Structure 1
Amino acid sequence: MTPYPSADFALTVQAADARTLRLAIHGYLDYDTSDEFTPTVDRLLDAHAGQHGPALRHLHLDWTDLTAFDSSGLSALLGLRRRTHPAGITLHLHHQPDYFTRLLEVTGVSDHLTQHATAS
């Protein structure tokens, strides 16, 4: 496990192989920390591609230790989807807190975020 911490946000690599990358988000993904999420995930995706080539097909995000999530976090998550989906990478969301799930449902993006991607 590799942590990428800050005061209120951390990202942990739980597992990786050529086709699958599993990340855990800890703490806040909100206005104050969402600007850390995107470049951190981008670096991890780039490192994975450097090691395995363009084989990644599944990015699993574990939200068990998420303590706050707001519209800025949602924007960062949608930005991640904009990067991964055209590359043929499907997002999988696991263990979301109720408030996270509610925000995805109210905004109507839950199915959009996890729509199956096909490699181009």
Structure 2
Amino acid sequence: MTTRLPAGFSTTVQAADAHALRLAVHGYLDHDTCDEFASTVATLLDAHAARHGPALRHLHLDWTDLTAFDSSGLAALLGLRRRTHPAGITLHLHHRPAHFTRLLEVTGVMGHLTERARGADSPEAVIS
């Protein structure tokens, strides 16, 4: 399933099972698209919970096709972490482009975003 959002942005569900959901983020995650990103991911998380109950433990986000990321995108990602972490869902940030990694490092939030959630059954968070 691909969700089309404002020009230059979309998310794709790559795989899903009861314990893990894999999403790819494509295009720009910035001021113009961050609200739609947050809404889309919330809808996907709600649909997953409706289907599987509270079994989700890992949300994998693939950033391979991310072309732009700004502070608004970072705020949306931090908001996602505020929702997932208390629910026992660990975020995994895969295939991060240099500009994305740089913003996470400069702001000091990399470890916060990928911290293992309580109740998550994985070893430490994966940040590949």
TM over 0.5: yes
Spell out, residue by residue over 1:31-69, the C-alpha distance to the aligned partner (whole angstroms, 9 max, x if none). 111010001000000000000000000000000000000
Unaligned ranges ≥5, structure 2: 121-128
Amino acid of the residue matched to residue 63 of structure 1?
A: W
Matches within 5 A, 1:79-94: 79-94=79-94
Displacement of 1:119 in angstroms is: 3.1
Q: Are 1:5 and 2:4 counterparts?
A: yes
Matches within 5 A, 1:1-120: 2-6=1-5, 7-119=7-119
Displacement of 1:4 in angstroms is: 0.4
Displacement of 1:8 in angstroms is: 1.7
Q: Is the 8 A contact 1:18 1:56 kept in 2?
A: yes
- Across the aligned residues of Structure 1 and Structure 2, the Cα RMSD in angstroms comes to 1.0
CA distance in 1, matches of 2:13, 2:46: 14
Paired residue secondary structure (1:96): coil
Normalised by the length of structure 2, the TM-score is 0.91
CA distance in 1, matches of 2:119, 2:48: 16
CA distance in 1, matches of 2:10, 2:112: 25
The alignment-based identity, stated in percent, is 75
